[in-house]
Amino acid sequence: GVAFKLAHALLKRDRALAARVDLREHLDLVAVGTIADLVPLTGENRILARAGLARLPATNKAGLRALLDVAAVPDEVTPAHVGFRIAPRLNAAGRLADAMTALKLMLTEDGAEARALAAVLNKHNADRQQIEEKIVAAALAQAEKFAGDRVLVLADESWHAGVIGIAASRVLQEYYRPVVVIGAGGKGSCRSINGFSIVGALAACAPWLDRFGGHEMAAGLTVPPGNIGPLRQALNEHAARVLRTEDLAPAVQVDAVVGLGELDAEFFECLRQFEPCGVGNPAPVFAVENVRLRGAPRVVGKNHLKFFVTDGDTTVEAVWWGRGEAELPAVLDVAFVPELNDYRGVESVVLRVRAVRANGRSA
């Protein structure tokens, strides 16, 4: 977005050049950069991202076209496609190898070269996923030893520094408490929860660190190996003064309670007015109450729980990502983000579950 605005300002100074350049043709790159960098999708950023997403399916940039193809991005591109399919492939080069590969892909005008470079990035991303899964499994196993801590400080010299941030996010998702994951060379990545400034906590523990930086929700650090234990103790002492027990219980903010029968075409048309959703403009979260399970839940994909809920008149599919082990009550309330799936021309509603609780009114 900043680069786009700079280019716009420069073209306003050179009318001859402006007559030959249509900046709208580059809004596809603006959308990718804005969403991949987790820029808040508000104000002008939202306008630019929305316009860029609309242009992505028909992009004339060889690199983006190859990336969309290798990532199997559908014709209707959403921020989720950019955040979870495009951005990880662009970032994988820098995490595991040379970031120049991603830059070359964005600059090339040759289709064959673009496809070759996109294939390299795809391989890096697959390798990154394998490394990440091993580190996440090891970090979660280590976290069990410190489950009573308010801040989880996990460390292993064998952990690749390029993926420890992702591992920290996964551990936070599981335990809902601030997490510090330290890998090779004493380099660490931190993720936090609402109400606890992780960079403020690191500042309070600065004597144990070589360097650190970041913001309230995420930070990076470098720590001497011998200081990891003292750092763990210092962070938890700081957290004991700052965090309340109730801060460690995740809460889902629900925007509205609806009935399953309300999730119709008109409902989704209304929701589209809020798009694109993402950082700073989260997708609305809804809830249904007093619904029943229909059939037995089953685990699909990589530990995702798929089940059906019914209110007696309408039955809808629900998917709870990463919660394949969850046990569901027979009568429940579900907080979710609704999605409209299109499979071979047949549309169906899917609830992307955020939280589940037993319904208090059930017998």
* Contact indicator for 351, 319 with CB cutoff of 8 Å: yes
Confidence category of residue 61, pLDDT binned at 50, 70, 90: very high
Write out the two tokens for 171: 């551990």
Mapping DSSP to helix (H, G, I), strand (E, B) and coil, where does residue 251 land? coil
CATH entry, 147-248, from 3.30.2320.30, 3.50.50.60, 3.90.1150.10, 3.10.310.30? 3.10.310.30
Q: How confident is the model at residue 360 (pLDDT cuts 50, 70, 90)?
A: low
Distance, CA of 307 to CA of 288 (rounded, Å) = 15
Distance CA 292, CA 331 (A): 5
Q: Residue 194: its pLDDT value, please? A: 87
**What's the rounded Cα separation, in Å, for the pair 341 and 343?**
6
What single-letter amino acid sits at 290? N
**What's residue 95's pLDDT?**
85
- Residue percentage of the chain with pLDDT more than 90: 80
Whether residue 52 contacts residue 85, with contact meaning beta carbons closer than 8 Å, is answered with no
| pLDDT above 70 for 152 | yes
For 200-228, what is each residue's pLDDT tens digit?
A: 999 999 999 999 999 889 999 999 999 99
**Is residue 330 scored above 70 in pLDDT?**
yes
Please give the mean pLDDT across all residues of the chain.
Answer: 93
Angle at 320 between CA 315 and CA 322, to 5 degrees: 160
Say what angle helices 62-70 and 100-107 make with each other, to 10 degrees.
120
Give pLDDT tens digits for 289-322: 999 999 999 999 888 999 999 999 999 999 999 8
Fill in the DSSP letter of residue 363: -
Higher pLDDT, 285 or 245: 285
What confidence score (pLDDT) does residue 38 get?
82
Would you kindly state where each structural domain of the chain is located, as residue ranges? Answer: 2-128, 147-248, 256-358
Alpha-carbon distance 283 to 288, whole Å? 16
Q: What is the mean pLDDT of residues 51-79?
A: 95
Q: Are strands 179-182 and 152-155 parallel, antiparallel or unpaired?
A: parallel
d(CA 3, CA 11): 12
Q: What is the pLDDT of residues 246-260, one digit of tens each?
A: 888 888 899 999 999
In this structure, CATH architecture of domain 2-128 = Alpha-Beta Complex (3.90)
pLDDT at 343 over 60: yes
pLDDT digits (tens, 9 = 90+) for 5-14: 999 999 999 9
What mean pLDDT do residues 80-90 have?
Answer: 94
pLDDT band at 89 (very low <50, low <70, confident <90, very high): very high
Average pLDDT over residues 181-195: 95
Can you tell me the distance from the alpha carbon of 173 to that of 99, in angstroms, rounded to the nearest whole number?
28
Provide the pLDDT confidence category of residue 363 given band limits of 50, 70 and 90.
very low
Q: What is the pTM of this model?
A: 0.80
Q: What is the mean pLDDT of residues 171-197?
A: 94
CA end-to-end distance (rounded Å), the chain: 54
Q: Which residue has the higher pLDDT, 122 or 98?
A: 122
List, in sequence order, the alpha helices (H) in 164-319.
Answer: 164-175, 198-204, 228-242, 265-271
CATH number belonging to the domain at 256-358, selected among 2.40.50.460, 2.60.40.730, 1.10.10.10, 3.40.50.300:
2.40.50.460
DSSP character at residue 281: B
Q: Six-digit token pair at 42?
A: 């508000």
* pLDDT of res. 322: 83
Give residue 361's pLDDT. Answer: 56
Grade residue 362 by pLDDT with cuts at 50, 70 and 90: very low
| Tokens 């011998």, residue located | 226
Higher pLDDT, 21 or 61: 61
